[in-house]
Amino acid sequence: MPLTQSPSELSAWLRLSLEPNVGSATACTLLSALGLPEQIYAQRATALSRHLPEALARQLAAPMPANMAAQVEGALEWAAEPGRRVLTLADPAYPQSLLTIADPPILLYVAGDPAFLQGPSLAVVGARNATPGGRENARAFARHLAAHGWRVVSGLALGIDGAAHEGALDAGPEGAGTVAVMGTGIDRVYPARHRELAHRIAAHGALVSELPLGTGALPQHFPKRNRIVAGLARGVLVVEAARQSGSLITARLAGECGREVFAIPGSIHSPLSRGCHALIRQGAKLVETASDITDELGGGPMPAQRTAPAPLPDHPVLDALGFDPLHLDAIQARCGLATGDLQAQLVELELQGRIARLDDGRYQRLK
């Protein structure tokens, strides 16, 4: 995709993003007061000192250091490759939803299609050490949402994040896709085991980072990533979370910037339910199906090709279940599916309202 800014303009944006002691809030203040980065760097230190401490004003008025110039050149070379883009606040493709948060990143590195950063999106987040059931819920919710026109945003972490990305990809080419916001430079995949998943997301969605190329995984980067996850989405769904977790940070940030917060309840005995229960006590919406989310948000997209979930004739799990309630092992004995595949299909059927799980753990066919 061709650049919408000249190399000199983009170089100035990149330099501003790399300046030590200049965060996104300070950069936005300078942009509001002085104009575009090229205009900022054209100022003398005396003019800059009206907005910055004297030492920082002298830093910006000085020639670009050689090491920073090398970083800028490397970023320009990276962005020149197909399927890559650096979006700045001045770029029409910059996601408009991020402009409503307190400190929008002044630029974003994007691998994939920048169009995936626009349109109705929902964030799905949760524990890294998620339970099998939690991962199944995340995958099924994300698949259902993506199939019905909602882009799924998450943070590429282990557990719930990874399951949410996979579920959105499972919706296929007709689905709305997925966006992974990274807490590293876009050229560094963390965790490493998600390298193949990251390649799939770049091919069928977008990878996003505000951090410079080569930046490794450091704890202080992930809360910054979480504000982008929350900012891109119209709402945030927390699937599983302990009382103290990054997912609750994302939920708090979402609430602060006017997004809806949703949480799936769980067992009162599970530590990974306590964060969700705390959110619900604080006003988050309790959800049991993906429709609970889309009904609450309202005005969302229509499904890509239909107005209701397609019927599932000859579905092997439905055929095996019949119309008498059965436990999981009895269903498995009839249909022969692996446990993980069977559980995933049962969750999907429950989301579609085709079956219900009874209080004694058995499954009942409804349609």
% of the chain with per-residue pLDDT over 90: 65
Structural contact between residues 142 and 175, judged by C-beta atoms closer than 8 angstroms: no
pLDDT at 299: 55
Tell me: the pLDDT tens digits for 100-114?
898 899 999 999 999
pLDDT (mean) for 338-364: 77
Task: Compute the distance between CA of residue 226 and CA of residue 248 in angstroms, rounded to an integer.
Answer: 10
Question: How many CB atoms lie under 10 A from the CB of residue 268?
Answer: 8
Residues in the chain: 367
Strand, coil or helix: 123: strand
Task: Compute the distance between CA of residue 79 and CA of residue 198 in angstroms, rounded to an integer.
Answer: 18
Beta bridge partners of 208: 110, 181
Instruction: Work out the pLDDT band at 313, boundaries 50, 70, 90.
Output: very low
Structural contact between residues 16 and 24, judged by C-beta atoms closer than 8 angstroms: no
pLDDT at 63: 94
Give one DSSP letter per residue of 343-362, joined into a string: HHHHHHHHHTTSEEE-TTS-
What does pTM read for this prediction? 0.81
User: Angle 339-351/132-147 helices, nearest 10 degrees?
Assistant: 50
User: Maximum Cα–Cα distance for the chain, whole Å?
Assistant: 81
Q: What's the distance, CA 132 to chain centroid?
A: 21
% of the chain with per-residue pLDDT over 70: 94
pLDDT at 291: 87
Task: Compute the distance between CA of residue 226 and CA of residue 307 in angstroms, rounded to an integer.
Answer: 32
In this structure, of 178-192, 241-255, 305-319, the range with the lowest mean pLDDT score is 305-319
Q: From residue 32, how far is each of 39, 89, 362 by CA, in Å?
A: 11, 12, 60
pLDDT at 3: 52
In this structure, of 69-78, 137-146, 204-213, 243-252, the range with the lowest mean pLDDT score is 243-252
Alpha-helix runs per DSSP H in 35-131 = 37-41, 45-48, 54-61, 66-79
Q: What is the rounded (10 degree) CA torsion for 13, 15, 189, 343?
A: -30
Instruction: Work out the pLDDT band at 4, boundaries 50, 70, 90.
Output: low
pLDDT at 228: 96
Select from 281, 276, 282 the least CA-distant residue to 256: 282
Residue 125 in tokens:
């987040």
Task: Compute the distance between CA of residue 243 and CA of residue 274 in angstroms, rounded to an integer.
Answer: 6
Task: Compute the distance between CA of residue 234 and CA of residue 350 in angstroms, rounded to an integer.
Answer: 24
pLDDT at 312: 39
pLDDT (mean) for 321-341: 82
Instruction: Work out the pLDDT band at 351, boundaries 50, 70, 90.
Output: confident
Amino acid at 37: P
The label of the residue with tokens 């026109």 reads 149
Tell me: the pLDDT tens digits for 283-312?
999 999 888 998 888 756 644 443 333 333
Tell me: the pLDDT tens digits for 180-203?
999 999 999 999 999 999 999 999
